Amino acid sequence: KNPFIIPGIRNVKIESQLNANYSFDNFLEGDSNRLSRSAGLAVANKPGGTSFNPLLIFGGVGLGKTHLAHAIGVEIKDKFPEKTVLYISAEIFTQQYIESVKKNTRNDFIHFYQLIDVLIIDDVQFLSGKAGTQDVFFHIFNYLHQNGKQVILTSDKAPVDMQDIEQRLLSRFKWGLSAELHQPDYETRISILRNILYRDGVEMPDEILEYVAKHIKSNVRELEGAIISLIAQSSFNKREINIELAKQVVEKFVKNIKREISIDYIQKVVSDYFQLDTETLKSKTRKRHIVQARQLAMYFSKKFTKASLANIGSQIGDRDHATVLHAVKTVDNLVATDKQFKKFVEDINKKLSI
Ligand code: ADP
Ligand code: MG
């Protein structure tokens, strides 16, 4: 029994934050997701009562992690309406935590999370490098786990590949089941497309569907985007859907997928923003404003590329991985404490996200 519970809080209804559109019914099954999907169903049938605790779903962008995480929550709410389910992204969780520290309500934050029966945290890779949030999550996790509550996590990486997550937390992640979402095979891509057409009551020649499914392979979100764009083009512009139009749309999407931000590009954007040249950014200068710009370049390289810390360091004037790690932490801290600095981060983030 938790002595810290605020009297009456047990009666507070906690909004699940679930999206009912993300159900198991419309999460189409294929070889690429069978394991994750059935593990998800098993958990939904017996939350906290299987060895899949935590259930960690991992895989690349747009492969259905968020969808599946919601589907599990929605199914649990349906089967066990009295259970308190909460879906939250690791990013919001982190913000709430930082806020609670500022407002001196850290204990309330913890107690709130201890009330949850099924806690779903999306994109836990976001916790990397955030020691304070990891620490509080570690305690919440232990409490929930010990009390037979279910924890569901998603991540863009397998636990072994996660960087800057404390060992003790990583070991918890590995306690249950880590299930991977792979890129969908051709058959699954076709059924996902058919499902969208069916949902929207639209017909399209097989030839077109096949063309789209053949060319967009790595990401379900892009696949959906392309077909939705085709539907829109044909209905709003009254254009006939033919292979030509499909080609144009697919080309646009495939180009977008390929565009990946490079470390060079990030350094250039950061330098331009502070009106420095990239040589200065990479130099040994310890002038405060240049150090900050340098740290921001490292921070965004970590955020937007898949490069290792060592690699990021070596490309910014031969610095080591510890320096990069320190830069990432410093930026996180400054964002939380320094309004002006936070504005820098938001501005640059916007420039890089366009
Ligand atoms: P992630 O969180 O892995 O980046 P999302 O869960 O946001 O990916 O999925 C991207 C889009 O693809 C969503 O609109 C989702 O509904 C759809 N999607 C992914 N996998 C499937 C699937 N197996 N069946 C139907 N739709 C899917
Ligand atoms: Mg997601």
Ligand 1 site-directed mutation target among 36, 67, 194, most atoms within 8 Å of CB: 67
| Centroid of ligand 2 to alpha carbon of 240 (angstroms) | 33
> H helices of 115-205, where?
131-146, 167-173, 186-200
Quick one: which ligand is closest to 69's CA?
Answer: 1
Which one, of 263, 265, 262, 348, lies nearest residue 313 by Cα?
263
Would you state the pLDDT for residue 251? 85
Cα 62 to middle of ligand 2, angstroms: 7
Q: How far apart are the first and last CA of the chain?
A: 50
The answer to whether the pTM exceeds 0.85 is no
| Ligand 1 neighbour 67 (Cβ under 6 A) | yes
Q: Exposure of 133 by Cβ count < 10 A (0-12 exposed, 13-18 middle, 19+ buried)?
A: buried
Question: What ligand 1 atom has the least distance to the C-alpha of 60?
Answer: 3
Pocket of ligand 1 contains residue 351 by CB under 6 Å: no
3-state helix, strand, coil in the chain (%, to 5): 60, 5, 35
CB 30 within 8 A of CB 185: yes
What DSSP string runs through 58-97? E-STTSSHHHHHHHHHHHHHHH-TTS-EEEEEHHHHHHHH
Q: Report CA(284)–ligand 2 centroid distance (Å).
A: 39
* pLDDT given for residue 8 in this prediction: 54
pLDDT at 256: 58
Report d(CA 104, CA 295) in Å as an integer: 29
Domains defined for the chain, CATH in brackets: 34-181 (3.40.50.300), 186-256 (1.10.8.60), 263-353 (1.10.1750.10)
List the chain pLDDT tens, one digit each, 354 residues: 444 555 555 556 789 999 999 999 999 999 999 999 999 999 999 999 999 999 999 999 999 999 999 999 999 999 999 999 999 999 999 999 999 999 999 999 999 999 999 999 999 999 999 999 999 999 999 999 999 999 999 999 999 888 899 999 999 999 999 999 999 999 999 999 999 999 988 889 999 999 999 999 888 999 999 999 999 888 877 778 889 889 988 888 776 554 568 899 999 999 999 999 999 999 999 999 999 999 999 999 999 888 899 999 999 999 999 999 999 999 999 999 999 999 999 999 988 876
Using DSSP's 3-state secondary structure scheme, residue 179 falls into strand
- Ligand 1 contact via 220 beta carbon (within 6 Å): yes
For ligand 1, whether the C-beta of 189 sits within 6 Å is no
Q: Can you read off the two tokens belonging to residue 253?
A: 């999407």
The values of phi and psi at residue 151, to 5°, are -120, 130
